[in-house]
Structure 1
Amino acid sequence: MKDYLKEYLITLRVERNLSPKTCDAYKRDLNDYLDYVKKEKILKISQMDIRNYIRNLNNQGLAPSSISRRFSSIRSYHKFLTSEKLMVENPTLIISSPKSPKKLPVVISEHEISEIIKCIDDESHFGKRDKAIIEMLYSCGLRVSEICELELSNLFLDDDLIRVFGKGMKERLLPIGKRAKVYLNNYLIHVRPNFNKRGQSSSVFLSRNGKALTRAMINKILNRWSSLSGISKSISPHTLRHSFATHLLEGGADLRFVQALLGHSDITTTQIYTHLDKEHLRQVYKTHHPRS
């Protein structure tokens, strides 16, 4: 059955337009599953075999979310095999997906974001760059991969817009706020030319060597400034994206509007933020209503 894995991965990349990173995750999940099948000398996979594999993952101490993702990969692969008539029956059909507990995303307040921005030394080249990055992550709700891959040709600052390519290379246009635009222009005019002395990079955000910043570098930048600002919470670029969505909903934005800005293909992904918004409404009620 492993013989068909390469063909399946090509299908994911070409027909479903999944990113290389997502395809790699499928490949890792399925290689582990198929190694288990080989090790157990399973010739015809049954529902019991798959249940045993899931039990095995549990015994290894894998997180419920990881087990759920692996099962999703396995189910998708078996669906492909049966649709291509490479397998007679899909043994995953009547197996329920393992439940992964929903974790509410960590969110920071507008004040905390302002404190991070305020502590950045924007007299230095790195400070100017970092201020633009952090403000854009928050005010545009970008994924860290989207800001890493942002290119000069994706900036339409005269129209107050930027273009990003999200999961599956889905394109979306996003408004850029006044403050983010000021910080970005400051970086583009005064810093980027110094980092891009050879003029070879088209990426917006560069290291001092003129190379595009990586996810790890941006995480490090955010960790540094959030720590210096005195915020004790563990903050990642995704925390700023979560905060962007939550603050929009708290301000009265429609869920569909937030979905479009975040680039979610399914609104159920966006609905997790309504839990946070309900908590905000609860707090407002308790604080301000005389009968609370």
Structure 2
Amino acid sequence: MHLQLAPKTIDAYGRCLNDFLDFCQRSKVIPEAITREQVTLYVHDLAHRPNPKRANVPSIKHGQGLSNSTMQQRLTVLRLFCDSLVEQQLRQNNPVGRGHYVPRKAFGGVRDRKLLPHYHKLPWLPSDEE
């Protein structure tokens, strides 16, 4: 089914899914049977793998890990992949859940959070010495 997505969006989603399938192959994980714990291993892999695009950008985590927005996109594609498996009745649940709002649980209570916090990274500014 074509959902009126731009060709570049479809290409990006395909590359994200290929990245996940490569992780599964390296980690000996069955993609259709992935657990929440294995999803967290995938997030850890995304956050700590060498990033050649950031090798020359000075930062605290110099050249390490993908950007937050890239990791968000990879998790979105993984969630959609698992949603399709649930829809096809190949799994019962989706291990890549979304965060859920729970009323009156803001202070002192526990909320079900997303796997990866969403944040906006501030631009790097050189110091006076640089």
TM-score, length of structure 1 as denominator length: 0.29
Whether the aligned pair in 1 keeps the contact of 2:68 and 2:118 (CA below 8 Å) is yes
User: What's the offset of the Cα at 1:93?
Assistant: 2.1
Match in the other structure for 1:52: 41
Q: Mapping of 1:52-201 within 5 angstroms?
A: 52-60=41-49, 61-93=65-97, 96-102=114-120
Whether the aligned pair in 1 keeps the contact of 2:17 and 2:77 (CA below 8 Å) is yes
Inter-partner Cα distance in structure 2 for 1:62 and 1:103: 12
Matched letter for residue 120 of structure 2: K
SS of residue matched to 2:66: coil
What's the CA shift string for 1:234-283, capped at 9, x where partnerless? xxxxxxxxxxxxxxxxxxxxxxxxxxxxxxxxxxxxxxxxxxxxxxxxxx
Whether the aligned pair in 1 keeps the contact of 2:40 and 2:115 (CA below 8 Å) is no
Inter-partner Cα distance in structure 2 for 1:27 and 1:92: 18
Inter-partner Cα distance in structure 1 for 2:47 and 2:118: 12
Shift of the 84–100 alpha-carbon distance from structure 1 to 2, 3 Å rule, reads same
User: What's the offset of the Cα at 1:100?
Assistant: 3.4
In the alignment, structure 1 residue 22 sits paired with structure 2 residue 26: no
Alignment: residue pair count = 91
SS of residue matched to 1:17: coil
Q: Kindly report structure 1 stretches of 4+ aligned residues shifted beyond 2 Å.
A: 86-89, 99-104
User: What's the offset of the Cα at 1:103?
Assistant: 5.7
User: Which protein has the bigger helix share?
Assistant: 1
What's the CA shift string for 1:166-216, capped at 9, x where partnerless? xxxxxxxxxxxxxxxxxxxxxxxxxxxxxxxxxxxxxxxxxxxxxxxxxxx
Shift of the 103–62 alpha-carbon distance from structure 1 to 2, 3 Å rule, reads closer
Matched letter for residue 87 of structure 1: R
In the alignment, structure 1 residue 36 sits paired with structure 2 residue 54: no
Matched letter for residue 49 of structure 1: Q
TM-score, length of structure 2 as denominator length: 0.63
Unaligned residue ranges in structure 1 (runs of 5+): 1-10, 105-292
User: What's the offset of the Cα at 1:99?
Assistant: 2.5
Identity %: 31
Structure showing greater Rg: 1
What's the CA shift string for 1:48-75, capped at 9, x where partnerless? 0000000111002101111111111111
Match in the other structure for 1:164: none
